């Protein structure tokens, strides 16, 4: 199966960066600030990977539309207060660097904003390895296939040669909607039992196993 994929597209939060817990905490804290019922952690975790607007809409369904800008502001306040402490999963930097050295085209499709992704990539030093990135404030939110479609069009890679790597059902559904293979990782936002409901070429339980799978299957 060597050289099966020319393009590997990664989700960011919960796939490359160990940030799922911070996102959950920021959603819950923002709801608390607005005196809203705090969403259960399982619900806050489930919406990770969606664009911020869709994520908060699902996590806090009782939020009045007039309060939506304030909810977004409070979420960003709480998240930014801790994002400088977030790190990549162990071995993620080396994995991406190795894939780049092997000539793979690499991309990111994320629910983060452009500002948020640029800040995170600069902080961890990965920006030099990626050929294309798409964010939720530039495209339809996952699971719509637009992010993947735009990346494939930009880089000139077909569906059969593209792999989407992500930690949520939203990632796997986006891959299916775009007609590309999805590779699920279970160490991020969504647990294995939830990810098993979606089609994927494999399910990977640790960051080190992800690096090994990509080394041997792409």
Catalytic site residues? 11, 13
CA distance 163 to 57: 29
Helices (H) and strands (E) in the chain, counts: 10, 6
Q: Is 35 left (phi over 0), alpha (psi -120 to 50) or beta?
A: left
> Nearest-CA neighbor of 15 among 144, 173, 187?
187
DSSP class of residue 17 equals B
Quick one: three-class SS letters along 91-118? CHHHHHHHHHHCCCEEEEEECCCHHHHH
């Amino acid at each position: 199966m060597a050289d099966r994929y020319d393009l590997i597209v990664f989700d960011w939060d919960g796939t490359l960066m160990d940030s799922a817990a911070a996102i959950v905490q920021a959603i819950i804290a923002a709801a608390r600030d607005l005196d809203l019922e705090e969403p259960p952690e399982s619900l806050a975790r489930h919406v990770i990977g969606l664009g911020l607007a869709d994520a908060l809409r699902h996590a806090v369904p009782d939020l009045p539309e007039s309060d939506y800008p304030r909810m977004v502001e409070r979420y960003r306040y709480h998240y930014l207060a801790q994002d400088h402490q977030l790190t990549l999963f162990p071995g993620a930097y080396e994995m991406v660097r190795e894939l780049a050295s092997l000539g793979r085209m690499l991309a990111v499709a994320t629910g983060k904003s452009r500002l948020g992704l640029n800040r995170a990539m600069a902080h961890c030093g990965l920006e030099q390895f990626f050929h294309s990135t798409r964010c939720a404030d530039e495209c339809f939110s996952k699971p719509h296939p637009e992010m993947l479609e735009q990346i494939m069009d930009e880089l000139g890679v077909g569906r059969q040669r593209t792999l989407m790597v992500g930690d949520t059902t939203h990632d796997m559904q986006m891959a299916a909607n775009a007609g590309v293979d999805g590779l699920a990782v279970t160490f991020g936002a969504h647990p294995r039992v939830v990810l098993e409901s979606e089609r994927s070429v494999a399910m990977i339980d640790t960051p080190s196993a992800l690096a090994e799978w990509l080394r041997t299957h792409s």
